[in-house]
Amino acid sequence: MDDYPLLDLFWTMFMFFMWILWFMLLFRIIGDLFRDDTVGGWGKTGWTVVLVLLPFAGVLVYLIARGRGMGEREMARLRASQEAFRSYVRETAAESGAAGSGTADELVRLADLKRRGDITGDEYEQAKSKVLAGV
């Protein structure tokens, strides 16, 4: 450890983290490129060739040319995903609510009949067990 000074260790760590950051940025750009439906096949091929052959210049040019759109496309994708999830939850809740609302409405109606004295307690219990059994 004596022949490797502390500042060289810090510099090596810095370069290692910059290398990891570089790959994360490169993968993010490639992911954005292939998720973008507005770019055709030849455009994606061209950008990929530039990113592979001239990685530093390609990434910088991509960020300058299409950097603002990256965030907008990501937000649009997240909004669409969130809306699809909410739509699914609404549909599922409506289906389960429709199945359960008939039972709940029937129980309320039976309780109202019992409260008014139109049916006896035994009749109420029999009707309630039938409703709960789904008959």
Residue 73 lies in a domain: yes
Q: For residues 50 and 58, is the Cβ–Cβ distance under 8 A?
A: yes
Cα gap 60→43, rounded to integer Å: 17
Instruction: Tell me the residue range of the domain where 104 lies.
Output: 6-133
Q: What is the pLDDT of residue 48?
A: 93
Residue 81 lies in a domain: yes
Residue 39 lies in a domain: yes
Residue 1 lies in a domain: no
From residue 84, alpha-carbon distances to 11, 73, 91, 121 in Å are 47, 16, 11, 47
Which residues, including other chains, have CB under 8 Å from residue 114's CB and lie 6 or more apart?
A: 120, 121, 123, 124
Residue 22 lies in a domain: yes
Residue 67 lies in a domain: yes
Residue 40 lies in a domain: yes
pLDDT band, very low/low/confident/very high, at 104 (cuts 50, 70, 90): confident
> What's the total number of domains in the chain?
1
Residue 120 lies in a domain: yes
Q: What is the pLDDT of residue 101?
A: 60
Q: What is the pLDDT of residue 120?
A: 87
pTM: 0.57
